[in-house]
């Protein structure tokens, strides 16, 4: 049993301290006397702070919220690695609600004008009060941060199907003085969302952050999100999304991944395709605002709009992929092409074998082939972060990621991963700046990708990329026995059609790289944590060995097996 009264007392003390503490140091100074045997760990100024005291009284501060992890140590899921995810979510939610309010008020002003014309000028609209659903709230830390850090949020429904988690959320909401805004519900998230949709209790933002795939919850989320509202979804089953278990990927997302070094962006595009596809069934369409791959998960933020006509356009934003597993050549195969006012089935593009190495191409997809970010929205996020970064512990990583996302070429769905492409022919890697310079001199665009270190997006066709590598191999020959291998001979055999110039160009590098921004997490950041443990009497034992095997396999597929 949880020691509710003592824990609650401790939280109230902390909440009081939060109200009067003007800085992190002040907060720690005030907190210290009330906990015996206090130890403190600071990862960096303004970063997550962990304060340990007596057993079961460990408190964590993140953003403007305090979490009593002592309640949650082995029963409720809390993952400190996800701080970046929560910081980004708070930043996006605030910016999105500002945008939503402006657009709503513009619509209301037009309605008001029409009413005035009809002789009813005095009717007023109620002020905008945002409702947010945190469908899998776990400890409630994210819900509390939404309530505290987004001024337009009037109510956060923090739901969890686990009773222990619900107790933790209530206590954490009390500790943060936001119990009036954080409404705790204890039910299956799918039932809650579908019932809310039926009752027209719309949410202006819905957050899905489950273990594994968000796909089982998407149907409900699409039904309860307001017109133009925000849907945030995380998927941690990256093993499936990155090209393993094709049948499992198709079962969850209606698409298959391919084995290609650009798998992280492909996984984002599969999730977006799935969301667009499900939205289409409800005569809705999606507007991706920002899509992020980080660590063990992908997370997408998108606005959901009603509109049957726009929903039909989804077919033009989806494509299959043709992938060569030998030289990493990957091409899009559209599903439809426009013809006057209708859409016709698209013709097959190219042959069934790879132009570079002659290998039979593999098919995958469909994937989302349109923009995955809204650059104007990302600019607002960066601006808001610069205005007040004190509530974001991972602000340096946030700034680096958002800058990289701004730099990405918007119309290139894939990228080349340096460490993989040079391995194909076993040549010396081309130093990054020389590779950028060769593309620059040849007149092509290129950019980094936030998905992967040492990777590059470019509008240069794949045969041009291989021509550059062929020129490099002429200057830096590979071993003769390697060169005689059939697949390498096929790739390096043709004479390059361009003469690559590897001379360093002063403008060849990207801003985020030149300015040495923190673009990827530093070493030591690990993947997902284990699922929350249940107490022995809460856990029903597997009836057979097969059940145990099935549980282990599912945990691996969902990406939650790492502690
Ligand atoms: Zn090939």
CA dist 332 and 269 (Å) reads 12
- d(CA 425, ligand 1 centre) in Å: 12
Separation of 327 CA from ligand 1 center, angstroms? 4
Is residue 563 over pLDDT 50?
no
* Distance in Å, CA 487 to ligand 1 centroid: 9
Could you tell me the distance, in angstroms and rounded to a whole number, from the CA of residue 469 to the centre of ligand 1? 14
What is the dihedral sign for C-alpha 337, 339, 341, 342?
negative
Mean pLDDT score of the chain: 84
CATH topology of domain 413-514: Phenylalanyl-tRNA Synthetase; Chain B, domain 1 (3.30.56)
> 525: buried, middle or exposed (CB in 10 Å: 19+, 13-18, 0-12)?
middle
Say yes or no to pLDDT of 181 above 70. Answer: yes
* DSSP result, 310-332: HHHGGGGGEEEEEE-TTT--EEE
Lowest mean pLDDT among 49-53, 112-116, 213-217, 348-352: 49-53
The span from the CA of 454 to the CA of 470, in Å, is 20
Task: Tell how far the Cα of 329 is from the centroid of ligand 1, in angstroms.
Answer: 5
Please tell me which residue, 56 or 497, carries the higher pLDDT value. 497
Angle, to 10 degrees, between the axis of helix 462-475 and the axis of helix 432-441?
120
User: What are the boundaries of each domain within the chain?
Assistant: 82-312+371-378, 413-514
Cis peptide, bond prior to residue 366, ω within 30 of zero: yes
What pLDDT, on a 0 to 100 scale, did the predictor assign at position 164?
Answer: 87
Which residues make Cβ contacts (< 8 Å) with residue 301, sequence separation at least 6?
Answer: 89, 92, 96, 230, 231, 232, 288, 289, 290, 291
Distance 416 CA to ligand 1 centre (A): 14
C-alpha 437 – ligand 1 centre gap (Å): 24
Give the pLDDT confidence score for residue 140 in this predicted structure: 93
Please say if the pLDDT value at position 96 is more than 70: yes
* Residue entry with tokens 């974001």: 392
Tell me how far the alpha carbon of residue 66 lies from the centroid of ligand 1, in angstroms.
Answer: 53
Q: Which residue has the higher pLDDT, 116 or 225?
A: 225
**CA atoms of 364 and 320, how far apart (whole Å):** 6
Residue 358 Cα to ligand 1 midpoint, Å, equals 6
Residue 423 alpha carbon to ligand 1 centre in Å: 13
CATH of domain 82-312+371-378: 3.40.50.150
Which of 18-22, 217-221, 238-242, 335-339 reaches the highest mean pLDDT?
A: 217-221
Fold agreement (82-312+371-378, 413-514): no
For 408, counting Cβ atoms within 10 Å of its Cβ (0-12 exposed, 13-18 middle, 19+ buried), the class is buried
Q: Which among 81-90, 200-209, 510-519 has the top mean pLDDT? A: 200-209
The DSSP 8-state label assigned to residue 509 in this structure reads S
Gap from CA of 20 to ligand 1 centroid (Å): 63
Section 382-386 average pLDDT: 97
Query: So what's the ipTM on this one?
Result: 0.99
């Amino acid at each position: 049993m949880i020691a509710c009264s003592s824990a609650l007392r401790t939280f109230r003390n902390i909440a009081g301290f939060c109200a009067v503490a003007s800085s992190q140091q002040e907060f720690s100074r005030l907190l210290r006397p009330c906990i015996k045997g206090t130890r403190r760990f600071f990862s960096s100024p303004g970063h997550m702070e962990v304060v340990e005291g007596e057993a079961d009284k460990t408190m964590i501060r993140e953003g403007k919220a305090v979490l009593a992890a002592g309640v949650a140590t082995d029963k409720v899921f809390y993952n400190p690695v996800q701080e970046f995810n929560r910081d980004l979510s708070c930043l996006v939610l605030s910016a999105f609600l500002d945008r939503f309010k402006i657009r709503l008020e513009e619509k209301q002003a037009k309605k008001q004008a029409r009413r005035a014309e009809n002789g009813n000028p005095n009717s007023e609209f109620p002020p905008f009060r945002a409702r947010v659903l945190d469908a899998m709230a776990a400890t409630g830390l994210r819900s509390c941060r939404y309530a505290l850090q987004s001024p337009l949020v009037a109510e956060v429904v923090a739901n969890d199907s686990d009773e222990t988690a619900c107790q933790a959320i209530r206590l954490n909401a009390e500790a943060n003085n936001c119990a009036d805004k954080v409404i705790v519900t204890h039910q299956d998230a799918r039932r809650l969302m579908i019932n809310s949709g039926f009752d027209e209790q719309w949410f202006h933002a819905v957050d899905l952050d489950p273990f594994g795939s968000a796909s089982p919850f998407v149907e409900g989320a699409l039904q309860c999100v307001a017109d133009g509202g925000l849907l945030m979804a995380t998927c941690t089953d990256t093993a499936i999304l990155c090209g393993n278990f094709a049948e499992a990927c198709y079962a969850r997302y209606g698409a298959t991944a391919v084995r290609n070094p650009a798998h992280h962006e492909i996984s984002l595009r599969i999730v977006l395709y799935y969301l667009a596809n499900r939205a289409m069934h409800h005569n809705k369409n999606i507007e991706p605002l920002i899509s992020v791959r980080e660590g063990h998960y992908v997370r997408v933020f998108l606005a959901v709009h009603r509109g049957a006509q726009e929903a039909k356009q989804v077919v033009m934003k989806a494509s299959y992929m043709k992938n060569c597993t030998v030289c990493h050549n990957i091409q899009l195969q559209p599903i439809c092409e426009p013809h006057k006012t209708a859409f016709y089935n698209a013709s097959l593009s190219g042959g069934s074998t790879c132009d570079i190495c002659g290998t039979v191409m593999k098919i995958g997809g469909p994937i989302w082939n349109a923009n995955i970010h809204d650059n104007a929205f990302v600019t607002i996020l960066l601006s808001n972060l610069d205005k007040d970064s004190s509530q974001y512990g991972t602000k340096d990583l946030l700034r680096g990621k958002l800058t990289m996302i701004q730099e990405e070429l918007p119309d290139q769905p894939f990228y080349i991963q340096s460490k993989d492409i040079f391995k194909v022919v076993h040549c010396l890697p081309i130093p990054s700046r020389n590779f950028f310079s060769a593309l620059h001199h040849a007149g092509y665009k290129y950019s980094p990708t936030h998905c992967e270190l040492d990777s590059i997006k470019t509008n240069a066709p794949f045969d041009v990329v291989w021509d550059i590598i062929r020129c490099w191999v002429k200057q830096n020959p590979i071993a003769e026995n390697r060169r005689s291998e059939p697949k390498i001979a096929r790739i390096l055999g043709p004479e390059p059609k361009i003469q690559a110039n590897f001379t360093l160009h002063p403008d060849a590098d990207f801003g985020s790289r030149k300015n040495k921004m923190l673009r990827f997490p530093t070493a030591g950041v690990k993947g997902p944590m284990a699922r929350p443990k249940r107490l022995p009497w809460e856990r029903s034992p597997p009836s057979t060995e097969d059940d145990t095997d099935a549980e282990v396999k599912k945990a691996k597929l969902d990406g939650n097996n790492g502690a």
